[in-house]
Structure 1
Amino acid sequence: MPQNADPRAQQNAMHALYSDNHSWLYTWIRKRLDNQFDAADLTQDTFMRIHSRQEADKIHEPRAYLVTVAKGIISHFYRRKSLEDAYLEYVALLPDPVTRSQEHAHIVLQTLEQVDTLLNDLPHNVKKVFLMSQIEGKKYQEIADEMGLSLISIKRYMKQAYVQCLTLMEDDFFE
């Protein structure tokens, strides 16, 4: 929280923002989602995100600000749902003894979400090279030939992707 911010003013501004706009935001989100429960969750997530930033007293256009924050949260929701659906489709293809517990599924989904975020942070060619190597199982020379790049560039891209992965793993380890 900024040094000069008055906690009481913050609390009052957040309360006013919430009470004046909760129903409106819920309705706005509900029109964009498949069910009311997800809409209720994402509405709360939007207010929680704003509350955590502790800048409610600086918002001049509340609805525009709420929509901007909510759009990011909705985008994240759909990206996570897409990953979850793909994982569930994959698990459905496995024989029953391979099926894991709910806890294991949650851990896998959380990991997939982190990998997705990591990959989206990589430059396009680095991401493409990494996926061709790790998902498609292609050798570095095959990738170089297919993309019209030098073998050294492919190795450099892979190193960049691995460093990003290790950074993610290190961040998780020390949390």
Structure 2
Amino acid sequence: MQRLKPDPAAQESCRGFYADILHFLRKRMDNASDAADMTQDVFTQWLGYRDRAKVEQPRAFLFQMARNLLSDHWRRQKVRHSALGEEQAEVLHSEPANDPLDHAQRQQRLEHLRQVLAQLSPRRREALMLHRFEGLTQAQIAQRMNISVSMVEKHIAAALLQCKQRLDSDNGREHAE
């Protein structure tokens, strides 16, 4: 990764707008710590933005960056909650309430899935987790991982195939025993 040279003008604009951006995000987020992290992300993106000198209204630009990050945050939260909601609804409708045996079996399946995911290569696991759990598009994953969209597609497909094969083979062993 290329290190950028410090730009005093950019750093000064950061100082001037930091409190405003932080206040803006705190009002719209669940907790102050996440707002502070996101504020830092805004300024990290700003300092890495190559065309900073061409920005005529840095304050407006920074607020737009904050709104974009906030939208991404809430979209990921929605994906997480909808996935969790579907899982909980499925459990409520398909299984007797609070049956200890069913609970133990669900815990075993979750642990088994964790083990299967742990066996993936780090890059495949990262691509799969960003796609399935963070709700990022393949283009967003490619940018974050600094690889091509085609490579993201390959990582996700290979990870899904590897997980399916492992789960199928393990389930076959369980039924054979």
TM range (shorter): 0.5 to 0.7
Q: Distance in 1 between matches of 2:73 and 2:115?
A: 19
1:102–1:48 CA distance, 2 compared to 1 (3 A) = farther
Q: CA deviation at 1:98?
A: 1.6
Conservation of the 8 A alpha-carbon contact between 1:13 and 1:56 = no
Measured against aligned partners, the alpha-carbon deviations of 1:132-163 in whole angstroms (never above 9, x if no partner) come to xxxxxxxxxxxxxxxxxxxxxxxxxxxxxxxx
Normalised to the residue count of structure 2, the TM-score between the two structures is 0.54
Conservation of the 8 A alpha-carbon contact between 2:131 and 2:138 = no
Q: Structure 2 matches for 1:85-100, cutoff 5 A?
A: 85-90=81-86, 93=91, 95-100=106-111
Aligned residue in 1 for 2:130: 110
Identity of paired residues, percent? 22
Q: Give the total of aligned pairs.
A: 122
Aligned residue in 1 for 2:154: 170
Instruction: Structure 1: give runs of 5+ residues left out of the alignment.
Output: 1-5, 120-164
Q: Which of 18, 25, 42 does residue 22 from structure 1 map onto? A: 18
1:59 corresponds to 2:55: yes
Q: Distance in 1 between matches of 2:155 and 2:47?
A: 25
Q: Distance in 1 between matches of 2:116 and 2:15?
A: 36
Q: Distance in 2 between matches of 1:45 and 1:102?
A: 32
Q: CA deviation at 1:87?
A: 3.3
Runs of 4+ more than 6 Å apart: none
Measured against aligned partners, the alpha-carbon deviations of 1:61-99 in whole angstroms (never above 9, x if no partner) come to 122111111111111111111122233445554811122
Letter in 2 for 1:76: D
1:45 corresponds to 2:41: yes
Aligned residue in 2 for 1:69: 65
2:7 partner SS: helix
Letter in 2 for 1:99: L
1:32 corresponds to 2:28: yes
1:61–1:171 CA distance, 2 compared to 1 (3 A) = farther
Q: CA deviation at 1:114?
A: 7.2
Letter in 2 for 1:19: R
Normalised to the residue count of structure 1, the TM-score between the two structures is 0.54
Letter in 1 for 2:58: P
1:27–1:82 CA distance, 2 compared to 1 (3 A) = same
Measured against aligned partners, the alpha-carbon deviations of 1:96-134 in whole angstroms (never above 9, x if no partner) come to 112244995985541226765259xxxxxxxxxxxxxxx
Instruction: Structure 2: give runs of 5+ residues left out of the alignment.
Output: 92-102, 119-124, 140-148, 158-177
Conservation of the 8 A alpha-carbon contact between 1:46 and 1:69 = yes
Conservation of the 8 A alpha-carbon contact between 1:25 and 1:43 = yes
